[in-house]
Amino acid sequence: MIAPIINSLIPLGLCILTGFVLKHQGFLSAKTWQQLDRLNYYLLFPALLFLNLATADMNLAKFALALSVVLAVLLLASIAIFVAHRVFDIHPQNIGVYMQSAIRFNTYVGLALMASLFDEAGMVIFSLIIALFIPPINVISVIALSLQHGFDARLLLMNVLKNPLIVVCALALAFNASSLTLMAGVEGFFGQLASASLPLGLLCIGAGLQFRLKSSELGIIIANSLIRLLCMPVLAYALCTMMGVVGIERQIITLFFALPTAPTAFSLTQALGGNHPLMANIISMQTLLAMLTLPVILWLVL
């Protein structure tokens, strides 16, 4: 079983490595990489999400128990970080960083793994998780990042409405719930855009890797990354087992929580005035460590 796992991760790792090499060889300018990342974030990836979610079999009743496990883990992690903020007096600029590093996930890596390791049933479960939890995860992240400015409902609402992932998930869910169907030509158009999203996203992840570590932050970055990549999936697996969620559902949920944090967390942190250098280092550390931890997690649950 280990060979398929390694083979599923090799293309991801090589795409990320290629992006890193291209960036540091000056093949494209830093501004061009930023523009490509922006293109993916606002157009290509939303097209991928919409196509997957609008056409998925959204059988919420069938997967209600599994989805409740995902919700429980996310709530436990979010509450723990907010409590830690109060107890340990975490700097307001850092609370949003720690929140995103714990509860956000790299959808590019997740979708690529799902496509290579699971059949359509696996993609349906993962698509449901994406559709239902991208919006609340992003809202919680915005709230955590906004704490340094004080709670402002208007600012929070504006930041939520400007988030393309939240908007496209809402539109896709509404479309899925309606009796409408995508025209073949329109679906083909979305398919063309979507096909470019994952490889470009992985290349941009590699181009975005950076390590400007302060010695005082190294310990917290490594600890944070290991909590995310090892402790979170173990907690998810344990809760699944306790609640009777087994088989492919437990595998998908455990893998979901073993994913590194989202690279777009950097842009959101920078836009809302958080500690974006720390966020960049955590994203880079989690992405690299995930290439070591994901094979272990996959080997244990598959």
pLDDT digits (tens, 9 = 90+) for 8-44: 888 989 999 999 999 999 999 999 999 999 999 899 9
The helices-and-strands tally (H runs, E runs) of the chain is: 15, 0
DSSP string, 28-59: S-HHHHHHHHHHIIIIIHHHHHHHHHHSS---
What pLDDT score was predicted for residue 9? Answer: 87
pLDDT tens, residue by residue, 112-135:
888 888 877 788 889 889 888 988
Distance CA 274, CA 138 (A): 15
The answer to whether the beta carbons of residues 215 and 72 sit under 8 Å apart is: no
Q: At 162, list the tokens.
A: 């400007």
Give per-residue pLDDT as tens, 219-234. 889 989 999 999 999 9
Q: Please give the residue that has the higher pLDDT: either 152 or 94.
A: 94
pTM over the 0.75 mark:
yes
The span from the CA of 61 to the CA of 113, in Å, is 25
Domain count for the chain: 1
Residue 91 has pLDDT above 80, yes or no: yes
**φ, ψ of residue 57 in degrees (nearest 5):** -85, 95
C-beta separation of 228 from 260 below 8 A: yes
Specify whether the CB–CB gap between 265 and 292 falls below 8 A: no
Instruction: Work out the percent of the chain whose per-residue pLDDT is above 90.
Output: 50
Residue with the bigger pLDDT between 169 and 254: it is: 254
Domain around 21? 2-301
The pLDDT of 100-113, averaged and rounded, is: 91
Specify the CATH number for the domain of residue 210.
1.20.1530.20
* CA dist 119 → 45, 58, 116, 218, 239 (Å): 21, 16, 8, 39, 24
Cβ(158)–Cβ(146) under 8 Å?
no
pLDDT band at 169 (very low <50, low <70, confident <90, very high): confident
Handedness of CA 203, 99, 219, 227 (dihedral sign): negative
Phi, psi dihedral angles at 85 (to 5 degrees): -60, -40
